[in-house]
Structure 1
Amino acid sequence: MDFAYSPKTLDLMERVQAFMDKYVYPNEATYHAQMNAFGVERWQVPAIIEELKDKAKAAGLWNLFLPESERGAGLKNVEYAPLCEIMGRVGFAAEVFNCAAPDTGNMEVLERYGTEEQKRKYMVPLLDGKIRSAFLMTEPAVASSDATNIECDIRRDGETYVINGRKWWSSGAMDPRCKIYILMGKTNRDADRHGQQSQVLVEPGTPGITIERFLPVFGYDDAPHGHAQILFENVRVPVENIILGEGRGFEIAQGRLGPGRIHHCMRTIGAAERALEKMCERLATRVAFGKPVAHQSVWHERIADARISIDMARLLTLKAAWMMDTVGNKVARAEIAMIKVAAPKMALKVIDDAIQAWGGAGVTTDAGLAHAYAGIRTLRLADGPDEVHRAQIAKLELGKQLARHMAKAAE
């Protein structure tokens, strides 16, 4: 693996960093002030977001995540990864560059698997940043760590599909700009367990859809994005809304999740870097027992551990991205699983230490650390919980070791 970033990546890193310095960091307070001004009617979009999106688009820093589309930057996973890290330093920054989940994954699904009409109707406005989207897979009634468990029913009736079921943790569904869902359900319960699922496009205003509630994360509503629990009762959509074909849902999901995990992990590393900066700043400026807190040796250990852990997680994530680019997602599945476990756990430790350094202020909204902790804690569950990834890593490792043992015994 070549550890040097390409000239193209270095140029984009410099440009994204300059944009963050000029427009994003100075407007963090503006963003929160505009959100707070909405009061209880928080499912609205702060004006600063759309203003910054216009600036990013004008600067050519738009859709950087999408390698295969003429509207994207044509970056490999390993080239896009460091840009994700820079964006991850501010919670809303990825949206400014039209690189926010779940839209990124949904656009990739439509780009790879969608019909021309599906692309025209939904992908183009998503790529233009005019609408947002949601991905509906998780369900409250089943253990969604196993995607084959899903029970949402999709039945064909003439020229329509009829959908019945309940979804939750539908991130982005509360956003007033959300105009399309990609929903995963079962079309054929008699097929093999990985061939029962399909994915279908559903517009939020379709009759029979009820948003039952929003789901807070440690008390945070994550407005205007939000996470919803949604009921589908005899919801009808045209048969042309199926993606790729019946029974292809699991295949689509697997193709969607690989790049998404790289994005999540690199943004997580960016959040950890920001937390380390805030930790050091606080320690250097607070005096306790007659000297700066930074002079206490326990904090030297915590700072050193944070630096080591962040750099290790970054290198492992870049290795996974590089392998995806060079040998494909299937060969890189162990590395992808490893980063999904390692990055959130690392960041949570760094953020927790930063909260400790800030004392009482750390658990308020003052430093942004509590919100960062809440958001990243969900990543130990999203896109598969740690236990599932650890099981896959162990299975692959045992298989590799067994094959080695058998080969040696046969000599």
Structure 2
Amino acid sequence: MAVRAHQYFYTYDTVGSFLRPKKLKLAYDQVKAGEISSEEFAEIKHTAIKELVQKQVAHGLHVVSDGEFNRKNFFIDFLAGLAGIKVIPNGFKLNFSGHELVDDGLELDGKIGYDPAHPFFADFEFLDSITPKDATTKVTIPAPTPLLFEGDFAVISNYREFYADREAYLADILSTYQQTVAHFYKLGLRYLQLDDPWLLGVTLPLAGLEGKENETRVAKLEGEIISLIQQIIATAPSDMIITTHICRGNFHSASLGGGTYGSILNVLKKLPYDAFFLEYDDLQAAGGFEPLAVIHRAQLQAVFVLGLVTTKTPQLELERELQHQILLAEDAVPLRNLALSPQCGFASTKEGNDLNEPQQWQKVDLVVRTARDTWKTDACRFD
């Protein structure tokens, strides 16, 4: 597969989600209870997103998102908007280190497919309309990986009711993503991020894939993940930035856990993303920076966006310590192939993490300040 041209030139960025304002968090419940109309709810969301975009620019960000304010959950809402997928209320549960997430579940009620009326398209058009011309609009959607698991870690468990074989199911997933990416591009999107915590989910006991007896199953699943993502990127327009965020899950500042990046290195080195957002707020848990050298040799275009600033707690890191970590990472890959970000989004679900909005913006300011001091540029781009 041809290597993509190096085109991710940002030296700092954010993963995408931000803490929802109190009025917006209340509105999610009000519209569900019928206390406000869908039109009133949309107006509350739009007002909150306008304020968020203004804050992102004011705090020095050159890439802006809608904070995922239009959704309750970073991945369920996107998948629920695809053709052939129906919502099962309270049908999804995961335990995050003692915090149980209960959210809508998903099932197929037909074959999975692209929907030209997916609400994310209108969400992007609104965001793009209020984004300053000198800023870049980013949209985040889940990678197709969660659709591929079976058993206790499955997001879609009934696909065999509609597909005679797995190959046909995978083909429809691929077509759905390819058409969705093409539609986003037609609307003007030039920066798409595929969030992929399920990639480390391969290593979780919950996935039931541990042990030598499952090596063949793991290899098959990893092969499917690699093939789908390679084909999605290969058919995307060449001037569209496509990145990924690979984390251990995030709910109420708690994670699911999972293995190190080294444990899925055989997958990562085959994914031709423009940038990898990787969690490094806990260097030991992440497994160090050495795997970056292996990925870099295979994907010379890739930038590794180091998530050194945690979004889980309000404690503010020291800039000199962040710069020290960046220097350690530079032993593995050139500084040109590194960037800085928070470790994850600040609110992967509408509940948000255990810090407040002023503390959130202090974290963003620290990322911006450290990156400018390290890469010696205010433009957030290399010349």
TM-score, normalised relative to structure 1: 0.23
Larger RCO (CA within 8 A; separation ≥ 6): 2
TM-score, normalised relative to structure 2: 0.25
- Say which structure is richer in helix: 1
